[in-house]
Amino acid sequence: MNDNDRAAWEAGLDVLRRLEEAGHPAYLVGGCVRDKLLGRGGGDVDIATAAEPETVMEIFPDVLPTGLKHGTVTVREAGFIFEVTTFRQEAGYSDSRHPDAVAFVRDVREDLARRDFTVNAMAFGSDAELVDPFGGRDDMKARLLRAVGDAAERFGEDALRMLRGIRFAAELGYRIEDATWRGLLAQRDKLRHVAMERVGVELNKMIAGSNPARALALLAESGLADRTAEPLPERLRDTLGTAAPLLDGMRLGLGAPAEALEPDLRWAALLLACGVTPAEARDAMRALRYASRRAGRIEAVVRLYEQLAESKRAGEEAKVAWIRTVLDRGREAARDALRIAAALPHPLPLTEDAETALRLASKWMREMPAGTVKELAVKGDELARAVEAAPGPWVARHLRLLLEEVALGRTNNDKEALLAAFEDCWRKEREATL
């Protein structure tokens, strides 16, 4: 736990005391309690109380009515944000995701009974009392993930819990209890009721977590990847299990945030390991509702690697091919690809020539005097004036040719040299058409 996490925890306890002083029992609940016992931090600090939302809003001056229907308000206190929810029971889950009815109750134990897993069904009081009616702390000691009550019932209430269970098991290094696993398998078809945005969030947390390989292996074993509301690319679904070991050995830099391989690049590595095409990568990112810019970045890396994998050039030809690839796909995609290659315990399938080129690629890219048309010392309108021609598509084509000449070190990146090279090319093109 860092200083900010400790401050959030203490501020949460202050909120409890304010509620208790007004006569309403209150507790820190859920994942924050689990993480506190584990010495972890970084999650939200959530609060459950016997006070109903309107009462909470009377006690605290800075409150947002974010979920009154379900008994939740958001309290801003000491620079932190807390979701404060009234003790409740839930009934009816016709959409396999949300309760049809919510009833407020007075006992925190009744509230904890509706939660997903025992390790998330603990409460912590302002007097340091731990309320643990389902044996969550014992399960933590046994490194066991177990559903609260009947597992099939819990997963039937909210199908997203199945993905959360896999994520928790991977992140915490816990074994999923046999009855809980059977309950998951029995209800897995209900994942189709979960919005793809929510699926995307959970899968991203798995990929970004400390053990993405185990998460992917469990995902493949459970069959959940085949049961999303919108189908993921078949090649991705079919190879998740076999691709998982690749991420298991990946040097993720988890202990050094500045060097960590961020989720986008982990996704790219996974898609490459699954043999997914650039088009399939784009389809997967769209299905999971990831932002277009993010999807474009991941697709660009996959496309660059596909281009590299087909390379059969060596020596100077390989250098020219790589630089052209960088100009086509962009420096960012090239750097991303090189970072993935450096993180992998063994290279993705590439030809021998491509592997050689990859080892030299970083050096070649550093030596490039320019990587984009904007970096050239000449502009399109200057080309048009030099040959007294009307601007048109030919300008972009010639700028690209000049960029390649500069990037390959064949022409200096100064206006005089570039105009001379352009005029020479222009003259030869005119002569060839006569």
Q: Is residue 204 included in any domain, yes or no?
A: no
Q: How far apart are CA 352 and CA 118, in angstroms?
A: 51
pTM for the model = 0.87
Handedness of CA 7, 9, 15, 21 (dihedral sign): negative
Positions of E strands within 215-364:
none
Residue 240 in any domain: the answer is no
Per residue in 121-130, pLDDT (tens digit) is 999 999 999 9
Q: Can you give the pLDDT at residue 239?
A: 87
Residue 345: HSE in the Cβ half-sphere, 13 Å Cα cutoff: 10
The last residue of one of the domains, among 112, 136, 160, is: 136
44 Cβ contact partners less than 8 Å away, ≥ 6 residues apart: 31, 32, 81, 82, 83
Sign of the Cα pseudo-torsion (13, 15, 19, 25, in order): negative
Residue 23 lies in a domain: yes
CATH number for position 114: 3.30.460.10
Looking at residue 355, its pLDDT comes to: 79
What digits encode the pLDDT tens for the residues 22-31? 999 999 999 9
Taking CA 226 as the corner, what is the angle to CA 220 and CA 229, rounded to the nearest 5 degrees? 135
| Residue 227 burial (CB count, 10 A) | 19
CA-to-CA distance for 2 and 16, rounded, in angstroms? 21
What's the domain count of the chain?
Answer: 2
Tokens of 419: 């105009």
Residue where one domain finishes, among candidates 102, 136, 170: 136
Within a domain: residue 12?
yes
CA-CA-CA-CA torsion sign (184, 185, 186, 192): positive
User: Which residue shows structure tokens 């046999």?
Assistant: 178
Give percent of the chain with pLDDT exceeding 70.
94
Which residues fall within 8 angstroms of residue 293, CB to CB, at 6 or more apart?
none
Least confident of 20-24, 353-357, 422-426: 353-357
Helix, strand, coil abundance in the chain, percent, nearest 5: 60, 10, 30
Closest CA to 51 of 85, 4, 98: 85
**19 in a structural domain:** yes
Compute the distance between CA of residue 184 and CA of residue 276 in angstroms, rounded to an integer. Answer: 28
User: Greater confidence, 248 or 312?
Assistant: 312
Establish if 255 belongs to a structural domain: no
Q: Quick: pLDDT tens for 251-302.
A: 554 433 434 678 899 899 889 888 899 999 999 999 999 999 999 999 999 9
Q: What is the pLDDT of residue 418?
A: 96
CB–CB of 261/252 below 8 Å? yes
> For residue 406, what pLDDT band results from cuts at 50, 70 and 90?
very high
Of 136, 153, 184, the domain-final residue: 136
Strand intervals (E) in 23-124: 26-29, 46-49, 63-67, 72-77, 80-86, 88-91, 101-104, 123-124
CA distances from 411 to 363, 381, 414 (A): 19, 20, 9
Under a CB-based contact definition with an 8 Å cutoff, are residues 170 and 163 in contact?
no
Residue-number span of the structural domain to which 16 is assigned: 1-136
Q: In the structure, what pLDDT confidence band is assigned to residue 52 with cuts at 50, 70 and 90?
A: very high
| CATH code assigned at 401 | 1.10.246.80
3-class SS at 352? Answer: helix
Give the separation between CA 377 and CA 379, rounded to whole angstroms: 7
Closest CA to 336 of 264, 286, 254: 264
Residue 157 covered by a domain? no
| Listed residue (23, 22, 16, 17) closest to 48, CA to CA | 16
Terminal Cα-to-Cα distance of the chain (whole angstroms): 76
Q: Is residue 398 part of a domain?
A: yes
pLDDT score at 434: 65
